[in-house]
Chain A
Amino acid sequence: MLTKRIIPCLDVKDGRTVKGVNFVNLRDAGDAVELGALYAAQGADELVYLDITATVDGRSTFIDLVRRVAQTINIPFTVGGGISSIADVSALLHAGADKVSINSAAVRNRDLINELSLEFGSQCIVVAIDTRYIETESGHEHIVHTHGGRKATEIRSIPWAKEVEERGAGEILLTSMDTDGTKAGFALELTATISGNANIPVIASGGAGNMEHFYDVFTKGKADAGLAASIFHFREIDIPDLKDYLKNKDLPIRITR
Protein backbone atom coordinates (compact mmCIF):
# COMPACT_ATOMS: atom_id res chain seq x y z
CA MET A 1 0.00 0.00 0.00
CA LEU A 2 1.25 3.49 -0.82
CA THR A 3 2.45 5.05 2.43
CA LYS A 4 2.02 8.48 3.94
CA ARG A 5 5.34 10.32 3.81
CA ILE A 6 7.19 12.12 6.59
CA ILE A 7 9.41 14.89 5.25
CA PRO A 8 11.90 16.96 7.27
CA CYS A 9 12.69 20.34 5.75
CA LEU A 10 16.15 21.89 6.03
CA ASP A 11 16.70 25.60 5.48
CA VAL A 12 20.11 26.19 4.01
CA LYS A 13 22.16 29.38 3.85
CA ASP A 14 25.59 29.48 2.25
CA GLY A 15 25.59 25.67 2.18
CA ARG A 16 24.82 25.24 5.86
CA THR A 17 21.60 24.53 7.73
CA VAL A 18 20.15 27.37 9.70
CA LYS A 19 17.19 27.65 12.04
CA GLY A 20 17.81 26.03 15.34
CA VAL A 21 19.39 22.73 14.58
CA ASN A 22 20.26 21.13 17.88
CA PHE A 23 21.66 17.67 17.42
CA VAL A 24 24.21 16.79 20.03
CA ASN A 25 25.22 13.59 18.31
CA LEU A 26 26.27 15.25 15.09
CA ARG A 27 29.84 16.32 14.57
CA ASP A 28 28.59 19.41 12.81
CA ALA A 29 24.93 20.26 13.22
CA GLY A 30 25.22 22.90 10.54
CA ASP A 31 26.30 20.36 7.94
CA ALA A 32 23.24 19.97 5.75
CA VAL A 33 24.52 16.75 4.22
CA GLU A 34 25.20 15.07 7.53
CA LEU A 35 21.84 16.12 8.97
CA GLY A 36 20.03 14.85 5.86
CA ALA A 37 21.85 11.53 6.08
CA LEU A 38 20.82 11.20 9.73
CA TYR A 39 17.17 11.83 8.85
CA ALA A 40 17.37 9.30 6.02
CA ALA A 41 18.84 6.72 8.40
CA GLN A 42 16.04 7.45 10.87
CA GLY A 43 13.41 6.65 8.27
CA ALA A 44 12.52 10.01 6.73
CA ASP A 45 10.71 9.29 3.46
CA GLU A 46 12.03 12.31 1.58
CA LEU A 47 13.91 15.49 2.35
CA VAL A 48 13.36 19.09 1.32
CA TYR A 49 16.28 21.52 1.14
CA LEU A 50 15.29 25.16 0.87
CA ASP A 51 17.96 27.61 -0.19
CA ILE A 52 17.45 30.88 1.65
CA THR A 53 20.66 32.42 0.34
CA ALA A 54 20.15 35.59 -1.63
CA THR A 55 23.56 36.02 -3.23
CA VAL A 56 24.95 34.67 -6.48
CA ASP A 57 27.90 33.11 -4.67
CA GLY A 58 25.50 31.34 -2.35
CA ARG A 59 23.75 29.89 -5.38
CA SER A 60 26.76 27.93 -6.56
CA THR A 61 27.41 26.82 -2.98
CA PHE A 62 23.88 25.45 -2.92
CA ILE A 63 24.37 23.51 -6.15
CA ASP A 64 27.52 22.03 -4.70
CA LEU A 65 25.52 21.06 -1.60
CA VAL A 66 22.83 19.43 -3.77
CA ARG A 67 25.52 17.35 -5.44
CA ARG A 68 26.91 16.19 -2.10
CA VAL A 69 23.43 15.35 -0.80
CA ALA A 70 22.71 13.29 -3.92
CA GLN A 71 26.01 11.48 -3.58
CA THR A 72 25.38 10.67 0.06
CA ILE A 73 21.71 9.88 0.69
CA ASN A 74 19.64 7.13 -0.91
CA ILE A 75 16.15 8.60 -0.57
CA PRO A 76 14.48 11.24 -2.79
CA PHE A 77 14.95 14.93 -2.09
CA THR A 78 13.41 18.14 -3.32
CA VAL A 79 15.19 21.46 -3.55
CA GLY A 80 13.64 24.90 -3.57
CA GLY A 81 14.30 28.58 -3.09
CA GLY A 82 14.90 31.20 -5.74
CA ILE A 83 14.31 28.94 -8.73
CA SER A 84 13.06 31.00 -11.64
CA SER A 85 14.16 29.48 -14.95
CA ILE A 86 14.63 26.30 -16.95
CA ALA A 87 18.39 26.80 -16.54
CA ASP A 88 18.07 26.89 -12.73
CA VAL A 89 16.06 23.66 -12.74
CA SER A 90 18.41 21.97 -15.17
CA ALA A 91 21.42 22.75 -12.98
CA LEU A 92 19.75 21.41 -9.84
CA LEU A 93 18.44 18.22 -11.46
CA HIS A 94 21.80 17.68 -13.11
CA ALA A 95 23.46 17.98 -9.70
CA GLY A 96 21.25 15.10 -8.55
CA ALA A 97 18.09 16.63 -7.05
CA ASP A 98 15.02 14.45 -7.63
CA LYS A 99 12.49 17.29 -7.66
CA VAL A 100 12.48 21.06 -7.62
CA SER A 101 10.01 23.32 -5.90
CA ILE A 102 8.94 26.67 -7.33
CA ASN A 103 6.74 29.36 -5.82
CA SER A 104 7.25 33.07 -6.60
CA ALA A 105 8.44 32.40 -10.13
CA ALA A 106 5.31 30.34 -10.87
CA VAL A 107 3.12 33.18 -9.65
CA ARG A 108 5.06 35.73 -11.72
CA ASN A 109 5.00 33.59 -14.84
CA ARG A 110 2.38 30.85 -14.76
CA ASP A 111 3.56 29.38 -18.07
CA LEU A 112 6.81 28.43 -16.34
CA ILE A 113 4.97 25.49 -14.74
CA ASN A 114 3.94 24.21 -18.18
CA GLU A 115 7.42 24.77 -19.60
CA LEU A 116 9.18 22.99 -16.75
CA SER A 117 6.87 19.99 -16.75
CA LEU A 118 7.23 19.58 -20.51
CA GLU A 119 10.99 19.89 -20.32
CA PHE A 120 11.67 17.72 -17.27
CA GLY A 121 8.44 15.78 -16.61
CA SER A 122 5.68 16.55 -14.12
CA GLN A 123 7.11 14.10 -11.60
CA CYS A 124 9.93 16.44 -10.66
CA ILE A 125 8.03 19.75 -10.60
CA VAL A 126 6.65 20.69 -7.19
CA VAL A 127 4.69 23.92 -6.86
CA ALA A 128 4.92 25.42 -3.38
CA ILE A 129 1.83 27.35 -2.32
CA ASP A 130 2.29 29.62 0.70
CA THR A 131 -1.17 30.64 1.76
CA ARG A 132 -2.69 32.94 4.36
CA TYR A 133 -6.32 33.59 5.27
CA ILE A 134 -6.77 37.35 4.91
CA GLU A 135 -9.43 39.95 4.39
CA THR A 136 -10.01 40.92 0.81
CA GLU A 137 -12.54 43.11 -0.96
CA SER A 138 -14.81 40.07 -1.22
CA GLY A 139 -14.42 38.98 2.40
CA HIS A 140 -11.93 36.58 3.99
CA GLU A 141 -10.11 34.38 1.53
CA HIS A 142 -7.16 31.99 1.39
CA ILE A 143 -4.65 34.02 -0.61
CA VAL A 144 -1.36 32.92 -2.18
CA HIS A 145 1.72 34.67 -0.78
CA THR A 146 5.22 34.91 -2.23
CA HIS A 147 8.65 35.96 -1.00
CA GLY A 148 8.69 33.57 1.92
CA GLY A 149 5.10 34.39 2.80
CA ARG A 150 5.68 38.12 3.18
CA LYS A 151 3.99 39.38 0.05
CA ALA A 152 0.29 38.89 -0.69
CA THR A 153 -0.82 38.27 -4.26
CA GLU A 154 -4.32 38.56 -5.66
CA ILE A 155 -4.53 34.82 -6.30
CA ARG A 156 -6.96 32.66 -4.34
CA SER A 157 -5.22 29.54 -3.09
CA ILE A 158 -7.88 26.89 -3.74
CA PRO A 159 -8.37 27.55 -7.49
CA TRP A 160 -4.61 28.18 -7.81
CA ALA A 161 -3.94 24.63 -6.59
CA LYS A 162 -6.17 23.28 -9.35
CA GLU A 163 -4.53 25.52 -11.92
CA VAL A 164 -0.98 24.43 -11.07
CA GLU A 165 -2.08 20.82 -11.43
CA GLU A 166 -3.63 21.53 -14.83
CA ARG A 167 -0.45 23.30 -15.89
CA GLY A 168 1.59 20.19 -15.13
CA ALA A 169 2.77 20.33 -11.52
CA GLY A 170 3.46 16.85 -10.18
CA GLU A 171 3.00 17.70 -6.54
CA ILE A 172 1.86 20.57 -4.32
CA LEU A 173 3.71 21.72 -1.21
CA LEU A 174 1.03 23.56 0.74
CA THR A 175 2.23 25.79 3.59
CA SER A 176 -0.28 27.57 5.75
CA MET A 177 1.27 30.81 6.97
CA ASP A 178 -1.54 30.97 9.52
CA THR A 179 -0.43 27.82 11.30
CA ASP A 180 3.30 27.91 10.46
CA GLY A 181 5.35 28.26 13.64
CA THR A 182 2.34 27.93 15.95
CA LYS A 183 2.81 24.21 16.77
CA ALA A 184 -0.98 24.13 17.07
CA GLY A 185 -1.49 21.71 14.20
CA PHE A 186 -1.73 21.78 10.41
CA ALA A 187 -4.44 23.75 8.59
CA LEU A 188 -6.71 20.73 8.31
CA GLU A 189 -9.72 22.18 6.55
CA LEU A 190 -7.77 23.96 3.84
CA THR A 191 -5.46 20.98 3.31
CA ALA A 192 -8.47 18.65 3.02
CA THR A 193 -10.13 20.94 0.48
CA ILE A 194 -7.03 21.27 -1.69
CA SER A 195 -5.91 17.64 -1.40
CA GLY A 196 -9.46 16.38 -1.91
CA ASN A 197 -9.74 18.38 -5.14
CA ALA A 198 -6.31 17.43 -6.41
CA ASN A 199 -5.35 14.44 -8.49
CA ILE A 200 -1.69 14.97 -7.56
CA PRO A 201 -0.08 14.44 -4.14
CA VAL A 202 -0.25 17.24 -1.58
CA ILE A 203 2.45 17.78 1.07
CA ALA A 204 1.06 19.62 4.09
CA SER A 205 3.32 22.05 5.91
CA GLY A 206 3.04 24.49 8.77
CA GLY A 207 1.91 23.98 12.33
CA ALA A 208 3.13 20.52 13.35
CA GLY A 209 3.67 20.47 17.11
CA ASN A 210 3.03 16.89 18.12
CA MET A 211 2.52 13.42 16.67
CA GLU A 212 -1.27 13.64 16.72
CA HIS A 213 -1.05 16.62 14.35
CA PHE A 214 0.47 14.33 11.73
CA TYR A 215 -2.26 11.76 12.30
CA ASP A 216 -4.87 14.48 11.84
CA VAL A 217 -3.35 15.87 8.66
CA PHE A 218 -3.22 12.40 7.07
CA THR A 219 -6.82 11.57 8.06
CA LYS A 220 -8.92 14.72 8.37
CA GLY A 221 -6.52 16.75 6.21
CA LYS A 222 -6.29 14.05 3.47
CA ALA A 223 -2.61 14.93 2.98
CA ASP A 224 -0.24 12.56 1.18
CA ALA A 225 2.79 13.78 3.09
CA GLY A 226 3.54 15.88 6.15
CA LEU A 227 6.46 18.27 6.33
CA ALA A 228 8.04 19.90 9.36
CA ALA A 229 11.33 21.53 10.31
CA SER A 230 12.07 22.72 13.81
CA ILE A 231 10.22 19.97 15.71
CA PHE A 232 12.55 17.48 14.02
CA HIS A 233 15.65 19.66 14.31
CA PHE A 234 15.03 20.26 18.04
CA ARG A 235 14.18 16.59 18.53
CA GLU A 236 10.80 17.42 19.96
CA ILE A 237 9.62 14.56 17.77
CA ASP A 238 11.91 11.74 16.72
CA ILE A 239 11.07 10.37 13.30
CA PRO A 240 11.18 6.66 14.34
CA ASP A 241 8.78 7.39 17.24
CA LEU A 242 6.46 9.34 14.95
CA LYS A 243 6.36 6.58 12.37
CA ASP A 244 5.72 3.91 15.01
CA TYR A 245 2.91 6.04 16.43
CA LEU A 246 1.24 6.48 13.03
CA LYS A 247 1.72 2.82 12.12
CA ASN A 248 0.11 1.78 15.41
CA LYS A 249 -2.85 3.94 14.47
CA ASP A 250 -3.21 1.87 11.30
CA LEU A 251 -1.94 4.39 8.81
CA PRO A 252 0.17 3.05 5.93
CA ILE A 253 3.69 3.98 7.02
CA ARG A 254 7.10 2.76 5.89
CA ILE A 255 8.95 1.26 8.85
CA THR A 256 12.62 0.81 8.04
CA ARG A 257 13.98 -1.07 11.05
Chain B
Amino acid sequence: MKTVIIKYNAGNVQSVMYALDRIGASYLYTDDEAEIRSADKVIFPGVGEASTTMSYLRNVGLDKVIPSLKQPVFGTCIGMQLMCRFSEENNTECMGIFDVDVKRFPASAGLKVPHMGWNNISDYQSPLTDGVPDNAYLYFVHSYAAPVCEYTVASCDYALPFSAMLHKDNFYAAQFHCEISGNAGQQILENFLKI
Protein backbone atom coordinates (compact mmCIF):
# COMPACT_ATOMS: atom_id res chain seq x y z
CA MET B 1 0.00 0.00 0.00
CA LYS B 2 1.26 3.44 -0.88
CA THR B 3 0.54 6.24 1.57
CA VAL B 4 1.46 9.81 0.76
CA ILE B 5 1.72 12.69 3.22
CA ILE B 6 1.22 15.92 1.31
CA LYS B 7 4.18 18.26 1.61
CA TYR B 8 3.39 21.96 1.93
CA ASN B 9 4.25 24.89 4.17
CA ALA B 10 2.55 23.62 7.32
CA GLY B 11 4.24 22.64 10.55
CA ASN B 12 4.22 19.64 12.83
CA VAL B 13 4.30 17.03 10.09
CA GLN B 14 7.18 15.25 11.82
CA SER B 15 4.83 14.02 14.57
CA VAL B 16 2.54 12.49 11.95
CA MET B 17 5.45 10.63 10.40
CA TYR B 18 6.50 9.27 13.79
CA ALA B 19 2.93 8.15 14.47
CA LEU B 20 2.90 6.25 11.17
CA ASP B 21 6.28 4.72 12.08
CA ARG B 22 4.80 3.53 15.38
CA ILE B 23 2.01 1.67 13.63
CA GLY B 24 4.46 0.24 11.10
CA ALA B 25 3.11 2.11 8.06
CA SER B 26 5.45 3.31 5.35
CA TYR B 27 4.81 6.62 3.61
CA LEU B 28 6.13 9.10 1.13
CA TYR B 29 6.32 12.80 2.01
CA THR B 30 5.89 14.69 -1.25
CA ASP B 31 4.19 17.49 -3.17
CA ASP B 32 4.56 15.72 -6.52
CA GLU B 33 1.19 15.45 -8.27
CA ALA B 34 1.90 12.09 -9.94
CA GLU B 35 3.03 10.55 -6.67
CA ILE B 36 -0.04 11.90 -4.87
CA ARG B 37 -2.42 10.66 -7.58
CA SER B 38 -0.92 7.18 -7.58
CA ALA B 39 -1.17 6.77 -3.79
CA ASP B 40 -3.67 4.42 -2.14
CA LYS B 41 -4.10 6.77 0.80
CA VAL B 42 -3.38 10.47 1.14
CA ILE B 43 -2.83 12.28 4.43
CA PHE B 44 -3.10 16.07 4.50
CA PRO B 45 -1.94 17.11 7.99
CA GLY B 46 -0.46 20.22 9.47
CA VAL B 47 -0.50 23.15 11.80
CA GLY B 48 -0.56 26.61 10.31
CA GLU B 49 -2.45 29.72 9.37
CA ALA B 50 -5.22 29.48 6.77
CA SER B 51 -4.29 32.26 4.32
CA THR B 52 -0.56 31.47 4.09
CA THR B 53 -1.07 27.73 3.74
CA MET B 54 -3.89 28.23 1.21
CA SER B 55 -1.89 30.64 -0.93
CA TYR B 56 0.99 28.16 -0.93
CA LEU B 57 -1.36 25.41 -2.12
CA ARG B 58 -2.62 27.72 -4.89
CA ASN B 59 0.88 28.61 -6.03
CA VAL B 60 1.88 24.98 -6.45
CA GLY B 61 -1.51 23.88 -7.83
CA LEU B 62 -2.34 21.51 -4.96
CA ASP B 63 -5.61 23.43 -4.39
CA LYS B 64 -6.87 21.79 -7.60
CA VAL B 65 -5.20 18.42 -7.10
CA ILE B 66 -6.54 17.65 -3.62
CA PRO B 67 -10.30 18.11 -4.35
CA SER B 68 -9.97 15.98 -7.50
CA LEU B 69 -8.45 12.96 -5.72
CA LYS B 70 -10.42 9.72 -5.85
CA GLN B 71 -8.63 7.66 -3.18
CA PRO B 72 -9.28 8.12 0.57
CA VAL B 73 -7.91 11.48 1.75
CA PHE B 74 -7.55 12.35 5.44
CA GLY B 75 -7.10 16.00 6.41
CA THR B 76 -6.24 16.91 9.99
CA CYS B 77 -6.22 20.21 11.89
CA ILE B 78 -5.44 23.00 9.36
CA GLY B 79 -5.75 20.31 6.67
CA MET B 80 -9.39 19.81 7.66
CA GLN B 81 -10.05 23.54 7.72
CA LEU B 82 -8.53 24.05 4.26
CA MET B 83 -10.88 21.33 2.94
CA CYS B 84 -13.86 23.52 3.96
CA ARG B 85 -15.33 26.33 1.86
CA PHE B 86 -14.07 29.39 3.69
CA SER B 87 -12.20 30.26 6.88
CA GLU B 88 -12.67 33.35 9.00
CA GLU B 89 -8.93 33.19 9.67
CA ASN B 90 -7.85 36.14 7.54
CA ASN B 91 -10.99 35.63 5.42
CA THR B 92 -9.58 32.81 3.35
CA GLU B 93 -11.31 31.06 0.45
CA CYS B 94 -10.46 27.39 0.93
CA MET B 95 -10.87 24.27 -1.24
CA GLY B 96 -14.58 23.77 -0.71
CA ILE B 97 -14.65 19.99 -0.44
CA PHE B 98 -16.95 20.38 2.54
CA ASP B 99 -19.52 23.09 1.97
CA VAL B 100 -19.16 24.67 5.41
CA ASP B 101 -17.45 27.80 6.73
CA VAL B 102 -14.81 27.67 9.46
CA LYS B 103 -15.46 30.21 12.21
CA ARG B 104 -13.44 31.63 15.08
CA PHE B 105 -14.46 30.53 18.57
CA PRO B 106 -16.45 33.33 20.21
CA ALA B 107 -14.43 35.25 22.79
CA SER B 108 -17.45 35.35 25.05
CA ALA B 109 -18.42 32.78 27.67
CA GLY B 110 -15.10 33.25 29.46
CA LEU B 111 -13.51 30.44 27.49
CA LYS B 112 -9.90 30.62 26.48
CA VAL B 113 -8.89 30.59 22.83
CA PRO B 114 -7.12 28.57 21.47
CA HIS B 115 -9.11 25.53 22.50
CA MET B 116 -6.07 23.61 23.74
CA GLY B 117 -6.02 20.22 25.40
CA TRP B 118 -7.96 16.98 25.62
CA ASN B 119 -11.67 17.06 24.87
CA ASN B 120 -14.16 14.26 24.30
CA ILE B 121 -15.84 13.64 20.97
CA SER B 122 -19.37 12.29 20.71
CA ASP B 123 -21.98 10.98 18.30
CA TYR B 124 -19.41 9.37 16.10
CA GLN B 125 -20.36 7.34 13.12
CA SER B 126 -17.37 6.96 10.85
CA PRO B 127 -15.32 3.96 9.76
CA LEU B 128 -12.42 5.89 11.26
CA THR B 129 -13.84 5.60 14.78
CA ASP B 130 -14.33 1.81 14.69
CA GLY B 131 -13.07 0.38 17.98
CA VAL B 132 -12.70 3.83 19.58
CA PRO B 133 -14.41 3.80 23.01
CA ASP B 134 -17.41 6.06 23.65
CA ASN B 135 -16.63 9.64 24.57
CA ALA B 136 -12.97 9.19 23.72
CA TYR B 137 -10.61 12.07 24.48
CA LEU B 138 -8.53 13.55 21.69
CA TYR B 139 -5.98 16.37 21.70
CA PHE B 140 -7.08 19.67 20.15
CA VAL B 141 -5.19 22.91 19.49
CA HIS B 142 -7.14 25.41 17.41
CA SER B 143 -8.83 28.81 17.44
CA TYR B 144 -11.15 28.19 14.48
CA ALA B 145 -13.65 25.38 13.95
CA ALA B 146 -16.25 24.11 11.50
CA PRO B 147 -19.77 24.16 12.94
CA VAL B 148 -21.83 20.99 13.05
CA CYS B 149 -23.14 20.39 9.52
CA GLU B 150 -24.41 17.64 7.22
CA TYR B 151 -20.87 16.20 6.88
CA THR B 152 -20.24 16.00 10.63
CA VAL B 153 -19.45 12.43 11.73
CA ALA B 154 -18.16 13.30 15.21
CA SER B 155 -18.79 16.39 17.28
CA CYS B 156 -17.09 18.12 20.16
CA ASP B 157 -18.14 20.89 22.48
CA TYR B 158 -16.27 24.07 23.40
CA ALA B 159 -18.45 27.11 23.96
CA LEU B 160 -20.52 25.68 21.10
CA PRO B 161 -20.80 22.27 19.46
CA PHE B 162 -18.44 21.98 16.50
CA SER B 163 -17.30 19.35 14.00
CA ALA B 164 -14.55 17.13 15.37
CA MET B 165 -14.67 14.98 12.21
CA LEU B 166 -16.12 15.42 8.73
CA HIS B 167 -16.75 12.87 5.99
CA LYS B 168 -17.93 13.19 2.41
CA ASP B 169 -17.35 10.51 -0.24
CA ASN B 170 -13.61 9.70 -0.18
CA PHE B 171 -12.74 12.72 1.98
CA TYR B 172 -12.24 12.33 5.75
CA ALA B 173 -11.16 15.02 8.17
CA ALA B 174 -10.41 15.48 11.86
CA GLN B 175 -9.90 18.69 13.79
CA PHE B 176 -7.85 16.99 16.52
CA HIS B 177 -4.30 15.67 16.29
CA CYS B 178 -4.46 11.88 15.91
CA GLU B 179 -0.69 11.69 16.07
CA ILE B 180 -0.49 12.91 19.68
CA SER B 181 -3.91 11.77 20.91
CA GLY B 182 -2.88 8.60 22.72
CA ASN B 183 -4.36 5.23 21.83
CA ALA B 184 -7.64 6.69 20.54
CA GLY B 185 -5.79 8.86 18.03
CA GLN B 186 -3.61 5.98 16.94
CA GLN B 187 -6.71 3.81 16.38
CA ILE B 188 -8.23 6.47 14.11
CA LEU B 189 -5.03 6.68 12.04
CA GLU B 190 -4.87 2.89 11.75
CA ASN B 191 -8.54 2.79 10.73
CA PHE B 192 -7.89 5.30 7.96
CA LEU B 193 -5.07 3.17 6.58
CA LYS B 194 -7.39 0.14 6.62
CA ILE B 195 -10.26 1.73 4.66
Binding site for B on A (CB under 8 A): 1-3, 5, 40, 45, 70-72, 74-76, 93-96, 98, 120-124, 170-171, 198-201, 224-225, 254, 256
A1 to B115, CA, bound (A): 11
Give the chain B neighbours of A121 by CB distance below 8 A. Answer: 11, 47-49
Stretch of B24-32, B64-72, B177-185 at the chain-chain interface = B177-185
B115 adjacent to A71 (CB under 8 Å): no
Known: A2-B158, A198-B112, A201-B116. A70 touches B14 (CB 8 A): yes
Give the chain B neighbours of A93 by CB distance below 8 A. Answer: 11-12, 14
A60 to B128, CA, bound (A): 38
Q: Does B120 contact A (CB under 8 A)?
A: yes
B11 adjacent to A45 (CB under 8 Å): no
Task: Produce 1/0 per residue, B136-147, CB < 8 A to A.
Answer: 010111100000
Give the chain B neighbours of A95 by CB distance below 8 A. Answer: 14
A1 to B15, CA, bound (A): 25
For the complex of A and B, 4 pairs with smallest distance between CB atoms: A254-B137, A123-B141, A254-B118, A76-B180
Report which residue of B49, B115, B139, B142 has the largest number of chain A beta carbons within 10 angstroms of its beta carbon.
B139
A1 adjacent to B120 (CB under 8 Å): yes
Q: Does B19 contact A (CB under 8 A)?
A: yes
Task: Produce 1/0 per residue, B1-36, CB < 8 A to A.
Answer: 000000000011011001101100000000000000
Q: Does B130 contact A (CB under 8 A)?
A: no
Task: Please name 19 further chain A to chain B contacts, defined as beta carbons within 8 Å, in addition to the given A93-B14, A199-B113, sorted by A numbering.
Answer: A1-B157, A2-B119, A2-B158, A40-B182, A45-B117, A70-B14, A71-B21, A71-B22, A74-B181, A74-B182, A74-B183, A76-B139, A98-B15, A121-B49, A123-B47, A123-B141, A170-B116, A225-B117, A256-B182
Report which residue of A1, A40, A225 has the largest number of chain B beta carbons within 10 angstroms of its beta carbon.
A1
A96 to B183, CA, bound (A): 18
Known: A1-B157, A199-B112. A74 touches B185 (CB 8 A): yes
Binding site for A on B (CB under 8 A): 11-12, 14-15, 18-19, 21-22, 47-49, 107, 112-120, 137, 139-142, 157-158, 177, 179-183, 185-186
Give the chain A neighbours of B115 by CB distance below 8 A. Answer: 2
Q: How far is the CB of A202 from chain B (nearest CB, A)?
A: 9
A74 adjacent to B116 (CB under 8 Å): no
Can you pick out 20 interface pairs between chain A and chain B where the beta carbons lie within 8 Å of each other? Answer: A1-B119, A1-B120, A2-B117, A2-B118, A2-B119, A5-B117, A45-B117, A70-B14, A74-B180, A76-B139, A93-B11, A93-B14, A94-B14, A120-B11, A122-B114, A123-B114, A124-B47, A199-B113, A200-B113, A201-B112
B114 adjacent to A224 (CB under 8 Å): no
The residue that A224 contacts in the complex, of B48, B112, B181, with Cβ under 8 A, is: B112
A133 to B121, CA, bound (A): 42
Known: A71-B22, A121-B48. A98 touches B180 (CB 8 A): yes
A2 to B47, CA, bound (A): 20
Give the chain B neighbours of A76 by CB distance below 8 A. Answer: 139, 177, 180
Give the chain B neighbours of A122 by CB distance below 8 A. Answer: 114
